[in-house]
Structure 1
Amino acid sequence: MLEWSGFCHCACIAVDAQAYGSKNDRSQSEIQHDLPRLLDRAARGAGLDRAQWQIQRKGDEQLAVRPLDGTEPRLVDDYVRHLVAELRRYNAQRVPEARMRLRAVVHQGLVETAENGFAGSAVVATARLLGADQLYDALAAHPDADLVLLLSDDVFRSTVAGGHTTLSTDDFTHVTVRVKEYEAPAWLSVPALGTPTAAPRTPGRTEEGWPAPAVPASGPPAGDRHGPAAADPVAGGTGISNEYRAESINVTNVAGSVDARGAVFGFGSAGG
């Protein structure tokens, strides 16, 4: 285990199992047994060595701290991706009530190893981020997801926005976390979905950064476009129109062979 003296600029990685307190004794014991092993396997898959991290264990929760060493993009990208894969395999063998679902946070800042754990505002901030309402809401909004992720603004800007990962900024949604005395911007994602994944607002909550309503693409109104007519759900339509539209047909004469993989052909006659 890597040791350091004094305050050192560190990465802080925290995870917490969802609904741990509602499980029975045997299920809680199983989570405490399996969680460290899933985290270890994910780290090995990402080429990281958790044996070199300082780890504070608390039942269904772990806080890992390590000095910054340039592998932070791999931590945000590969480690999280491997952890999602490990959770998927783990949960596929269990009934829904026995699934392990994680809230995960990555932050960075000055940390000192202390007599009873860690000292430093970065550790406090990591704990506050882990308790963010947005993480709980995202798990509730995406019941098939095994993990939801929150990056602090510093981590997001220095890794994802900096172009140092395979992730896109579009995979994250900007949120404002308010827990106790803590308030700061952060970036939310559900990695397995690969899309912006902010959970819907809890009624009465007015968080900043939630996605705006979708804006229709530019172009003529749907009713003016040529193409299959929309289905009438009342009439039980199929969504396919058999109406012949001569003005929308293009005829192309081609001599020789044609590679039409992925193409769609329609056939009709001038008589309808």
Structure 2
Amino acid sequence: MNASTAIGGHSRVSSSSTRFVLMRQGHRPGARLTPEQDGVTDSQLSAVMPYFYGIPLSPRRFDGSCGACPLGEPGGEGGSLMQHPERRLLISVDMERYSRRSNLQQYEAQRQFRELLHEAAGAVGLDRVAWTTQQAGDGELAVVPREVSESRVIGRFVPELNRRLRHHNSSRLPAARIRLRVAVHQGLVHLDGANGFPGNAVVFVCRLCEADPVKKALAAFPEAGVALVVSTEIFRDVVTEYPEEMRPERFVRIEVAHPDKEFREYARLCVVDEDLAAVAVPGVSPSPGQGAAQIAKKLADTAEAKPASSAMEHGGIHTGDIRVKGQNAIGPGATAIGSVGRDVNSGTRRGDPR
């Protein structure tokens, strides 16, 4: 077929003409191939070359009918079509101290790891069989289907996984326990990669899971099952807005740094059902924003309690350490609703005027 064959002048270039242009000897990125050199028009070159070098120049980049770029034909010599990236929720999971286990312990840990994840997901109505996963010996990367609720994954699946891990570990020696670091992020990902899932969001979530503060936080709580780290966007849009069983006030802001990989970002971390503010963990400390939120809550609680105090002081019943306000009943079998001071005694002592 002639290299200049096209439909509509430029909207589509055949598989053979594509290979002719891209495989020409001596061509390099940025070099311009003239029509005299290759017998291909400028419009045809502009329709083909950007796909090869990943430079999005026009709406023609992807074929709207099949959601892919026109590099080759499916099943033909040109190779598979590159699919559109999809925005998905990404979960990276890694087992603590996996490499320190013996061969048999690693074998058993892998089996228990998969069982616990499947059971926890099933318990909250999630079907992990539908998840696209990339397995590793000590963990996995999961791409969650679009229709799955992010709040259900974070607010229900993670707490359920933590409960099952705690129960599982309660009857096992420390060397046989399964404890997990779980990282959650979202972003664009290619699902048709030749050897995994290409995408910066995938790199990001894996960097979170491997962060040193996350490892240290989990190590600080020997009975915990899950240390959860989420991106700033996930914390803002999901954890704070739709927490379900999670407690947003327990998340602390951390810096995730991998100097050798030129990676430095901020994220939010919690150890599920534990209080990071109660222990000293290197690299982990409550953020100023979190402290402000706690102060605001205390102020709100104080404001709610103040009218009650005023009512007691102006018109309520006050007898020693017993204070009663509102509707009161006096007489045999009557009930009084009120508050008891911290120093009140259940009975009277001999000689006590009360």
TM-score normalised by the shorter chain: which range applies? Answer: 0.7 to 0.9
In structure 2, the partner of 1:184 is 265
- 2 CA distance for matches of 1:97 and 1:258? 60
Q: Which stretches in structure 2 are left out of the alignment for 5+ residues? A: 1-81, 300-318
Q: Which has the higher helix share?
A: 2
Q: CA 1:101–1:172 in structure 2 vs 1: closer, same or farther (change >3 Å)?
A: same
Q: 1:255 aligns with which of 307, 310, 331?
A: 331
Q: CA 1:26–1:154 in structure 2 vs 1: closer, same or farther (change >3 Å)?
A: same
In structure 2, the partner of 1:69 is 147
- 1 CA distance for matches of 2:351 and 2:258? 69
After TM superposition, list the pairs within 5 Å mapping 1:84-233 onto structure 2. Answer: 84-113=162-191, 114-163=193-242, 165-180=244-259, 181-193=262-274, 195-196=275-276, 200-202=280-282, 209=287
- 2 CA distance for matches of 1:23 and 1:83? 22
Cα distance, 1:20 vs structure 2: 0.7
- 2 CA distance for matches of 1:198 and 1:68? 37
Cα distance, 1:65 vs structure 2: 0.8
> What count of residue pairs does the alignment treat as equivalent?
236
Q: CA 1:257–1:76 in structure 2 vs 1: closer, same or farther (change >3 Å)?
A: same
Cα distance, 1:251 vs structure 2: 8.3
Cα distance, 1:250 vs structure 2: 4.4
- 1 CA distance for matches of 2:323 and 2:151? 51
1:167-226 CA-to-partner distances (Å, cap 9, x unmatched) read 332121122211232222211111123x45586342xx58783877x99x99xxxxxxxx
In structure 1, the partner of 2:135 is 57
Structure 2 SS opposite 1:94:
coil
- For 1:139, give the aligned amino acid: L
Cα distance, 1:5 vs structure 2: 3.0
- 2 CA distance for matches of 1:130 and 1:93? 27
TM-score (structure 1 length as normaliser): 0.75
Contact 1:137 1:199 in 2 (8 A): no
- 2 CA distance for matches of 1:120 and 1:128? 13
User: Over alpha carbons, which structure has the higher Rg?
Assistant: 2
Query: Which structure has more RCO (C-alpha within 8 Å, separation ≥ 6)?
Result: 1
TM-score (structure 2 length as normaliser): 0.59
- 2 CA distance for matches of 1:5 and 1:169? 37
Pairwise CA RMSD of aligned residues?
A: 3.2
- 1 CA distance for matches of 2:197 and 2:219? 31
Q: CA 1:107–1:199 in structure 2 vs 1: closer, same or farther (change >3 Å)?
A: farther
Q: CA 1:182–1:69 in structure 2 vs 1: closer, same or farther (change >3 Å)?
A: farther
1:233-271 CA-to-partner distances (Å, cap 9, x unmatched) read xxxxxxxxxxxxxx9644889423356899775223373
